[in-house]
Structure 1
């Protein structure tokens, strides 16, 4: 799966990492729902760090379509809420059962 972090670039992430990313996404959703800015910043940073850790960066000149677009670390609570409205249940989709 190709994920784009806004303003940063694209990462190829193997499906085997989606469960971990979903857990971090759930923590982000909890922080958003509570409106806790500190927890939101921490959970967004953790999610993006995990994507950078498990993903392989694509070259800047790559024209691959992104399957997911994620906010950058400077995104506000409202900006991420808006992304979630357009994406559905969280930023990272679950694996089909």
Structure 2
């Protein structure tokens, strides 16, 4: 799956990493729902760091369509809330 982190670029991520990412996504979703700004910031950074470390960066000039778009590291709680679906930021099953 190709994942874009807004403002950074794209990474190719193997589907085997989704269980760990979904754990962080569930935690992030709960923090957004409760308005836990400190927890939200910590978990968003953990989620993005996990994607960066587990994924293989694509070249900047790559034009691959992103199957998943994640917020920028500096995104606000409100911006992330607007991006959430029922499943959070990350689908339960990769497409």
Q: TM-score, normalised by structure 2?
A: 0.95
Alignment match, 2:2: 2
SS of the aligned residue for 1:33 comes to helix
SS of the aligned residue for 1:3 comes to strand
Task: Return the offset for 1:89.
Answer: 1.5
Q: Deviations over 1:44-80 (max 9, x none)?
A: 0000000001000000000000001100110001100
1:41-56 maps to which residues of 2 (within 5 A)?
41-56=41-56
Alignment gaps of 5+ in structure 1 = none
Alignment match, 2:78: 78
Task: Return the offset for 1:88.
Answer: 3.5
Alignment match, 1:90: 88
Alignment match, 1:24: 24
Q: 4+ residue stretches of structure 1 with deviation over 3 A? A: none
How many aligned positions are there? 94
Alignment gaps of 5+ in structure 2 = none
